[in-house]
Amino acid sequence: MGVRLAKPGEFTQRALLNGKQSLLAVEALKDLVSAATDTQLRMAQACLGAWPEWIEKAKTRLAPWIARAEAVLDYGDDEIIQLDFNTLQAEIALIRETFHVEQMRSSAARWLRDGIRVALVGRPNSGKSTLFNALAGEDRAIVTEIPGTTRDVLEIRTEWSGLPLYLFDTAGLRNSNDPVERLGVARVAGVLEKVDLILHLLPLMDQGSDLEILNRLAPFQGKVLEVRTFGDQGRGAGGIVVSAMTGDLQALKVALQDRFLGPHSPDACLGALATLRQREVLDELVFQSDLVLGLSESCPPELVASALQGMWALLARLTGEDRVESTLDQVFSGFCLGK
């Protein structure tokens, strides 16, 4: 009867191709469908609709300069039209600054969109499972005073203090003769590889960690954060001190927000461009702006015109106005059938 099944995202794709939606809104729709936490939902919602104002402003600022640069190419010999190079550079510097601000915001927003993978490691009885439960807000992992309680890796997805977290509770690190516990410890290595952050739990009363644990964590130094547990049992230690027992996790909250969001609050990340594709284009926009800023007045006008065109093309790639098929395929392949 001439009927066929719709391709993944085909209805949305038609809306895009008919100019009813921008690629940014389409990507937000995709995020909306797959949002798993409140923050992810709010982030997606903030990107639906018209594209952000800063893009529109950048285009408005850039357009006359492209026109001028092209005119210089056509009529420059007659000296009717000149390019005021200093004003051009000042304008581009302003545009670059807005790109840079967005770049910073999106590197924070990325964590809110994608979630942060966090492993809890430490010696047996260092309070990993207790902290895991506290962060998850539910009694998920078994907690006992017997060292070596946790064997398997436990994973839970949760939202804590506005941060979407994938938490991994692991077996306490020690040399054990128990074959089951040994298997559990062996699994920790795989977790360390794949997470974004390793919380190395060290009870307040411990003087330091044993060499074995430090050696294991050494290859991941850049993503290890030491957290002193059993904060209710004493005082005096500096650094991040928490007590999962009493629920005092403020220091950890500050440390995580600082590390992943920097100066941006979760709310300040709403509307930021957070997908990998968008972040890549943003990086290129900053790079391309720097390229223009690196030009000198003696450069051939062709070079100026083409560098400005490059910025324009990147903005069009961001919004999807350029309709490049490979970009569209990349975006729509993640959609469900129909939609």
**Taking CB under 6 A as the criterion, which residues in 271-300 touch ligand GTP?**
none
**CB atoms inside a 10 Å sphere around CB 190:** 12
9 binds, among Mg ion, ligand GTP, none (CB under 5 to 8 A by kind): none
Q: How far is the CB of 128 from ligand GTP (least distance, A)?
A: 4
Residue whose pair of structure tokens reads 């209805």 in the numeric block: 11
Find the binding residues for ligand GTP in span 230-259 (CB under 6 A): 230, 232-233, 243-245
Q: Counting contacts by CB under 5 A, is residue 125 touching Mg ion?
A: no
The Cα 61–Cα 8 span in angstroms is 37
**Least separation, in Å, of the C-beta of 200 and Mg ion?**
14
How many residues bind to ligand GTP according to rule CB under 6 A?
Answer: 24
Among 164, 172, 266, 271, binds ligand GTP (CB under 6 A): 172
Span from 97-105, 143-151, 239-247, 324-332 in contact with Mg ion (CB under 5 A): 143-151
Nearest to 301, CA basis, from 63, 71, 86: 71
Report the distance separating Cα 120 and Cα 145, nearest Å: 17
Which of Mg ion, ligand GTP, none interacts with 243 (beta carbon under 5 to 8 A by kind)? ligand GTP
Determine whether 61 is exposed, middle or buried from the number of CB atoms within 10 Å of its CB (0-12, 13-18, 19+): middle
Judged by CB under 5 A, does residue 126 bind Mg ion?
Answer: no
> Using the rule CB under 5 A, which residue among 22, 37, 39, 129 binds Mg ion?
129
Shortest separation between residue 229's beta carbon and ligand GTP, angstroms: 5
Judged by CB under 6 A, the residue of 59, 110, 113, 128 near ligand GTP is 128
249: which DSSP letter? -
User: Using CB distances below 5 to 8 A depending on partner kind, what does residue 229 bind out of ligand GTP, Mg ion, none?
Assistant: ligand GTP
Place of tokens 């590197």: 107
SS3 content of the chain, % helix, strand, coil (to 5): 55, 10, 35
Burial class for 215, CB neighbours closer than 10 Å (0-12, 13-18, 19+): exposed
How many residues bind to Mg ion according to rule CB under 5 A?
A: 4
Residue 43 within binding range of ligand GTP, rule CB under 6 A:
no
Distance in Å, CB of 28 to ligand GTP, minimum: 39
Interface region with ligand GTP, contact rule CB under 6 A, candidates 25-33, 99-107, 139-147, 218-226: 139-147
| CB closer to ligand GTP, 185 vs 318 | 185
Q: How far is CA 310 from CA 25, 92, 163, 276, in A?
A: 23, 13, 36, 20
Q: Residue 190 and residue 194: Cα distance in Å, rounded?
A: 7
Binding of residue 133 to Mg ion (CB under 5 A): no
Sign of CA dihedral 155, 159, 162, 164: positive
Q: Does 209 bind ligand GTP (CB under 6 A)?
A: no
CA 252, 256, 257, 263 torsion-angle sign = positive
Strand partners, 153: none
13 binds ligand GTP (CB under 6 A): no
- Of 21, 107, 126, 150, the one binding Mg ion (CB under 5 A) is 150
Q: What 3-state class would DSSP assign to 339?
A: coil
The least CB distance from residue 123 to Mg ion, in Å, is 11
Shorter beta-carbon distance to Mg ion: residue 32 or 245: 245
Q: Please give the C-alpha separations between residue 204 and each of 120, 126, 235, 242, 271, in angstroms, as whole numbers.
A: 16, 9, 8, 9, 41
Nearer to ligand GTP (CB atom), residue 107 or residue 129: 129
Binding site for Mg ion (CB under 5 A): 128-129, 149-150
Enumerate binding residues for ligand GTP (CB under 6 A).
122, 124-130, 143-145, 147-150, 171-172, 229-230, 232-233, 243-245
